[in-house]
A and B are shown apart, each in its own frame.
Chain A
Amino acid sequence: MSDARNGHIREINGPILRIHMPGARNGEQVRIGSLDIVGEIIALEGDDAIVQAYESTEGLRPGEEVEGLGHPLTVELGPGLLQGIFDGVQRPLDVIAGLAGDNIPRGLRIDSLDRTREWAFVPREGLEPGTPINPGERLGAVQETETIEHRILVPPGIRGELIDLAPAGDYCLEKTIARVRDKHGDVHKLKLFHRWPVRVPRPYTQRDHGVEPLITGQRILDTFFPLLKGGKGAVPGPFGAGKTMVQQQVARWSNADIVIYVGCGERGNELVDVLESFPQLQDPNTGRGMMERTLLVANTSNMPVVAREASIYVGMTMAEYFRDQGYDVVMLADSTSRWAEALREVAGRLGHMPVEEGYPAYLGSRLAAAYERAGRVETLDGGRGSVTLIGAVSPPGGDFSEPVTSHTKEIIGTFWALSKELADARHYPSVDWVDSFSQDVAVAAGWWAQNISGAWVKRRTEALALLARDAELSRIVNLVGPEALSSAQRWELEGASLVKEAVLQQSALDEADAYCSPHKQFELLELVMQVFDRGKELITLGAPVQELAEHPVMARIRRAKSTWRSDESEQLAAFASEVYQALAGLRSEYASSQESAS
């Protein structure tokens, strides 16, 4: 039997087709009909195969030919990925726009990576002919962008003895740069790129544990609910709560080496926003353009639903590829609910028995398997790399008990729950401090103690406790009114409000505050907690809560975050001591008046 198989269409039901193709393999790619549409076999029934099409099937007829391609859905991995924008099956959208205009036509055959461009390849020192070659080993590198060195790896599965390695020079992707003879005597020609099937996780030597937090420059995330490099996080929230904003902020400011942003079933205009704004942004860590380390996968909500299901795997495979080069990669998936709905849609058309809310029974295991591809690993060549996966979840009606959110919650380590109430009050980022959690605080604490301050854990805990007190006291106020509270309790309410406004709220549009360095994060928290502690003492000395709350420094503390940028820590420190002095002045006033009274 030859590798290329042929069959024909028997039935077309939206994106799902039944084809007659004896000998078809599950997962195999197919080309369908005269329109040359791409699809994937997802089930076999006797001599029939069920195909999901990545493109609209309008105009196809029963009886048209189907060509089996003999391989599963793969992506191309090599130089040229960065700064790219790809669709859900890794077709380059910018190239398509150049070729085909404003809309996406069907049946395009197009390479993911540019074949004509030449890359300056530098071979690794010491790789002489005859050297034993192992999978994942580095052959050399290409400086893909100013900041990112693209390391050329031996594809997994290839082991043997080096026959020859190309000298330094410019090569296009199809050129052979190394030849390896395996133990059977077969010669493998290695190029600057290779292909990998998206549904198969790329191999590594072993899993490693996370050691440092991902710094996103967002106070509520870094300080309160940290996520480790190699961790798994979820951002659930109803529409309008700011999921996309949180994801974009992480994409913009996090200290990852590579950022992969997968727009899965979301708005076209939001992707354009990323496309237009990223090239103008600077990475706070390297000072280079943000786009140099970024690549986008875009399957907008109006693009074919089946490619949406594939887009997460396509993004993940590219993330793993950079991980294997020893990089810390962040992959943002916005939104995993759309991915799950694509599963549901296909399951529905296949007539699979729905379990919860119409989702198929395998929803939980698919979700878990996708999230489990994240992690920090020892790579095949002995280095360390990580993929941090942050998935947005769009629960219908904002109900966190729905299947996608609840299954996700079981898998992830950091949960950034967005709240409609906070968003409605324009408290951004609207991350709810009651529902959110992070299992990585202990590891993060070590990093903060080493790099910023040993008091981080204590201050963080105190602030969260104050916020919890606030929720409790607010309930009392709502029942019996504020008069029922003691002065100390009312000061706690004020303190919590200070934490919320001076620390938690952070505007993505505020130039001085969109990114907040760990140092500034801690300084602000420290300032607010100091003020709270000192105020508490003042109140025991008889100072009225009202007077403290309306003291002119309070408004300035609330504005401090946008008054000074992250690199203006001296000014912030000067302001803090000014505040402490003002409070010390008050203290001596009240202490003396108390003495004179007694």
Chain B
Amino acid sequence: MSDVEYRRATAAQGGLLVVKGVEKVAFGDRVRIRDHQGRQRNGQVILAAEGETLIQVFEGTEDIDLDNTWVRFLDQSLTVTVSPGLLGRVFNGIGEPRDGRPPIVDGEARGINGSAINPAARNYPREFIQTGISTIDGLNSLVRGQKLPIFSGSGLPHNRLAAQIVRQARLPGEASNFAIVFAAMGVSYTDARFFRESFSDSGVLGNVVMFINHADDPPVERLALPRVALTAAEYLAFDLDRHVLVVMTDMTHYAEALREVATAKGDVPARKGYPGYLYSDLAEIYERSGRIRNRHGSVTMVPVVSMPSDDITHPIPDLTGYITEGQIVLSRELNNQGIYPPVDIAPSLSRLMKDGIGKDDTRDDHPRVANQLYALYAKAQEARNLASIIGAEELSARDQRYLEFARDFDKQFVAQGEDENRSIIETLNLAWELLSRFPREALTRVSETDLAHYHRSGEKVA
């Protein structure tokens, strides 16, 4: 069947092409399309019926001429060729080189959709990754095999933060040995260049494989891109035993592309025009991270999700939060105060932190210190709200102390340089510096032993 070209396109609209009168086309089949200028386009069957086939065209349906469009069904699912030669290369959303070098031929073709990891074959992620960033390591720790997105807004430095994580991530005491899969969907040329330079400056380019779809590239291609990138990541992790860090930016552009195609297809919209299967679709992507028993590698995911109008309840961040194991939330307010990274700790969370920290992983007091900082920060927020109504002078001495704490917390703990790589011990010591401003009685979330060890009562803290 794959040699036959059909000239039976009957409709083209919004990235979809309808072909009539071809029998027995497989659902999900890969399609090659030749247009009137002889250019090749790629597609996938998204509805297969008797006599009618609906194809999603990754390069879009612009400039298609129905009478002069030849369609070939390849009788295979969408695949990407994997080999150790992936590292150091740049591809587009469907795995074609965009670095001017020849395509990879000596590898194995793998279906991009993968199949669900059997929960009974998974290993629970529990190895602490030190990112060198206090708000993450100290309060929302990342572990190998986790999916921890950055929730951001337009204009916020999520890309800088993601790049810093990539540069600094390692197990405590070890040199970085992550392979990096970079998946960019609908990013600007500036952002793509920024990542490239950042990888190149830190000398990791040879450990990076990039999949790039620019803002002016066809949106349909964004639907395949994360799947292609994750197939490569799984190969590096589970075949080559590498620990893989996948950075995906920006998932919002992915979801918008999904909505575009769903709308063209006539799917019933659920929320804000997004199709009802957005959750399942996102889960198919995010759930490909993890650790597998008897395999040495891991897939850790740091997706960037920009929240439309900074709205965390928007379907994309909302559904993402229900799938991922926590989230790092960036705050416009902190950013406006010049604080980098502007991580808002209150809504940020790491669900897998509890098993990756503590005595054997970081330091014994770590879980309680994190808990205590959160409790004090929450009190400080209450004091801040109060101060905005009655004025800071009117606050009680206790509330004043909370306010002062919050100010210094933001300035000393949250804020750090873009090249500042703090070890987890440095982060915890910094935390105790802040906690030591409170008398021991006020610190009920830490233990008596912690206080005896780390509380600097009597010392003057600058």
What is the interface of chain A, defined by CB distance below 8 A to chain B?
A: 10-14, 18, 56-63, 85, 93-94, 96-97, 100-106, 238-240, 244, 263, 265, 267-273, 275-276, 298, 300-303, 305, 338, 341, 344-345, 347-349, 351-352, 354, 357-358, 394, 396-399, 420, 423-427, 477-483, 501, 507, 509, 550, 552, 554-555, 558-559
Q: Which of B200-249 contact A (CB under 8 A)?
A: 238
B120 touches A239 (CB 8 A): no
> Shortest beta-carbon distance, B440 to chain A, in Å?
8
Residue of B nearest to A552 (CB): B441
B349 touches A240 (CB 8 A): yes
> Shortest beta-carbon distance, A68 to chain B, in Å?
19
CA distance A59 to B75 in the complex (A): 9
B313 touches A93 (CB 8 A): no
User: What 4 A-B pairs come out closest when comparing CB atoms?
Assistant: A397-B313, A425-B378, A301-B283, A358-B270
With a 10 A CB-CB cut-off, give which of B280, B290, B371 has the most chain A CB atoms.
B280
B270 touches A59 (CB 8 A): no
A269 touches B315 (CB 8 A): no
Q: Would you call B172 an interface residue if the criterion is a C-beta within 8 Å of the partner chain's C-beta atoms? A: no
B313 touches A301 (CB 8 A): no
With a 10 A CB-CB cut-off, give which of B50, B118, B122, B279 has the most chain A CB atoms.
B118
Q: Which of A85, A300, A426, A478 contacts B385 (CB 8 A)?
A: A478
Q: Would you call B119 an interface residue if the criterion is a C-beta within 8 Å of the partner chain's C-beta atoms? A: yes
CA distance A265 to B323 in the complex (A): 9
A555 touches B444 (CB 8 A): yes
A57 / chain B contacts, CB cutoff of 8 Å: 27-28
B287 / chain A contacts, CB cutoff of 8 Å: 267-268, 300-302
Q: Would you call B125 an interface residue if the criterion is a C-beta within 8 Å of the partner chain's C-beta atoms? A: yes
> Shortest beta-carbon distance, A38 to chain B, in Å?
15
Per-position binary interface string of chain B over residues 142-161, scored 1 when its CB falls under 8 Å from any chain A CB and 0 otherwise: 00011000000000000000
Residue of A nearest to B114 (CB): A103
Per-position binary interface string of chain B over residues 271-294, scored 1 when its CB falls under 8 Å from any chain A CB and 0 otherwise: 100011101100110111010110
Q: Would you call B109 an interface residue if the criterion is a C-beta within 8 Å of the partner chain's C-beta atoms? A: no
B271 / chain A contacts, CB cutoff of 8 Å: 357-358, 396
CA distance A571 to B293 in the complex (A): 44
Q: Would you call B268 an interface residue if the criterion is a C-beta within 8 Å of the partner chain's C-beta atoms? A: yes
A96 / chain B contacts, CB cutoff of 8 Å: 118, 120
A10 / chain B contacts, CB cutoff of 8 Å: 49-50
B279 touches A338 (CB 8 A): yes
B77 touches A12 (CB 8 A): no
Residue of A nearest to B288 (CB): A302
A63 touches B23 (CB 8 A): yes
CA distance A85 to B354 in the complex (A): 24
A265 touches B279 (CB 8 A): yes
Q: Which of B340-371 contact A (CB under 8 A)?
A: 346-347, 349, 351-352, 354-355, 367, 371
B119 / chain A contacts, CB cutoff of 8 Å: 85, 93, 263, 268, 271-272, 275, 298, 300
B124 touches A269 (CB 8 A): yes
A97 touches B48 (CB 8 A): no
Q: Which of B26, B47, B146, B442 contacts A11 (CB 8 A)?
A: B47
B277 touches A345 (CB 8 A): yes
Q: Which of A61, A62, A420, A509 contacts B367 (CB 8 A)?
A: A509
Can you pick out 27 interface pairs between chain A and chain B where the beta carbons lie within 8 Å of each other? A11-B47, A11-B48, A59-B27, A59-B28, A60-B26, A60-B27, A62-B24, A62-B25, A103-B116, A103-B117, A104-B116, A238-B321, A239-B322, A240-B347, A244-B351, A301-B283, A301-B286, A302-B117, A302-B287, A344-B276, A348-B267, A357-B270, A358-B268, A423-B349, A425-B378, A426-B371, A558-B444
Which listed segment binds A: B64-72, B80-88, B90-98, B386-394? Answer: B386-394
A301 touches B323 (CB 8 A): yes
A302 touches B277 (CB 8 A): no
> Shortest beta-carbon distance, B373 to chain A, in Å?
9
Q: Which of A13, A85, A105 contacts B120 (CB 8 A)?
A: A85
A550 / chain B contacts, CB cutoff of 8 Å: 441
With contacts defined as CB atoms under 8 Å apart, how many contacts are there between chain A and chain B in the complex? 227
A301 touches B49 (CB 8 A): no
Q: For the A-B complex with A62-B23, A425-B378 known, give 17 more contacts whose Cβ atoms are closer than 8 Å.
A: A12-B49, A13-B47, A61-B26, A97-B121, A106-B115, A273-B124, A276-B124, A301-B280, A302-B287, A348-B268, A357-B270, A424-B378, A426-B374, A427-B378, A481-B394, A552-B441, A559-B444
Q: Which of A58, A105, A348 contacts B275 (CB 8 A)?
A: A348
A267 / chain B contacts, CB cutoff of 8 Å: 287, 323, 325
Q: Would you call B407 an interface residue if the criterion is a C-beta within 8 Å of the partner chain's C-beta atoms? A: no
A61 touches B24 (CB 8 A): yes
A93 touches B322 (CB 8 A): no
B283 / chain A contacts, CB cutoff of 8 Å: 265, 300-302
A357 / chain B contacts, CB cutoff of 8 Å: 270-271
Q: Would you call B334 an interface residue if the criterion is a C-beta within 8 Å of the partner chain's C-beta atoms? A: no
B367 / chain A contacts, CB cutoff of 8 Å: 509
A13 / chain B contacts, CB cutoff of 8 Å: 47, 49
CA distance A352 to B270 in the complex (A): 12
CA distance A358 to B272 in the complex (A): 10
Q: Which of B238, B354, B394, B442 contacts A102 (CB 8 A)?
A: B238
Residue of A nearest to B52 (CB): A11
Q: Would you call B396 an interface residue if the criterion is a C-beta within 8 Å of the partner chain's C-beta atoms? A: yes
> Shortest beta-carbon distance, B358 to chain A, in Å?
9
B321 / chain A contacts, CB cutoff of 8 Å: 238-240
Q: Which of A298, A344, A480 contacts B390 (CB 8 A)?
A: A480
CA distance A276 to B327 in the complex (A): 24
Q: Would you call B108 an interface residue if the criterion is a C-beta within 8 Å of the partner chain's C-beta atoms? A: no
A509 / chain B contacts, CB cutoff of 8 Å: 354, 367
Q: Would you call B296 an interface residue if the criterion is a C-beta within 8 Å of the partner chain's C-beta atoms? A: no
Per-position binary interface string of chain B over residues 117-141, scored 1 when its CB falls under 8 Å from any chain A CB and 0 otherwise: 1111111110000000000000000
User: Known contacts being A94-B120, A102-B121, A348-B275, is A424 close to B346, with CB within 8 Å?
Assistant: yes
B444 touches A301 (CB 8 A): no
A480 / chain B contacts, CB cutoff of 8 Å: 390
B124 / chain A contacts, CB cutoff of 8 Å: 269, 272-273, 276
B27 touches A61 (CB 8 A): yes
B26 / chain A contacts, CB cutoff of 8 Å: 58-61
Q: Would you call B318 an interface residue if the criterion is a C-beta within 8 Å of the partner chain's C-beta atoms? A: yes
Q: Would you call B269 an interface residue if the criterion is a C-beta within 8 Å of the partner chain's C-beta atoms? A: yes
B322 / chain A contacts, CB cutoff of 8 Å: 239, 394
A558 / chain B contacts, CB cutoff of 8 Å: 444
A481 touches B115 (CB 8 A): no
> Shortest beta-carbon distance, A25 to chain B, in Å?
23
A58 touches B113 (CB 8 A): yes
Residue of B nearest to A423 (CB): B349
User: Known contacts being A344-B270, A397-B313, is A58 close to B28, with CB within 8 Å?
Assistant: yes
CA distance A507 to B145 in the complex (A): 25
User: Known contacts being A62-B48, A101-B121, A341-B276, is A269 close to B28, with CB within 8 Å?
Assistant: no
B118 touches A104 (CB 8 A): yes
Q: Would you call B375 an interface residue if the criterion is a C-beta within 8 Å of the partner chain's C-beta atoms? A: yes
A58 / chain B contacts, CB cutoff of 8 Å: 26-28, 77, 113
CA distance A320 to B271 in the complex (A): 36
CA distance A100 to B322 in the complex (A): 29
Q: Would you call B295 an interface residue if the criterion is a C-beta within 8 Å of the partner chain's C-beta atoms? A: yes
B323 / chain A contacts, CB cutoff of 8 Å: 267, 301
CA distance A554 to B270 in the complex (A): 51
> Shortest beta-carbon distance, A169 to chain B, in Å?
32
A268 / chain B contacts, CB cutoff of 8 Å: 117, 119, 122, 287, 290
B24 touches A269 (CB 8 A): no
> Shortest beta-carbon distance, A547 to chain B, in Å?
13
A420 / chain B contacts, CB cutoff of 8 Å: 347
CA distance A559 to B280 in the complex (A): 43
Residue of B nearest to A17 (CB): B27
Per-position binary interface string of chain B over residues 251-267, scored 1 when its CB falls under 8 Å from any chain A CB and 0 otherwise: 00000000000000001
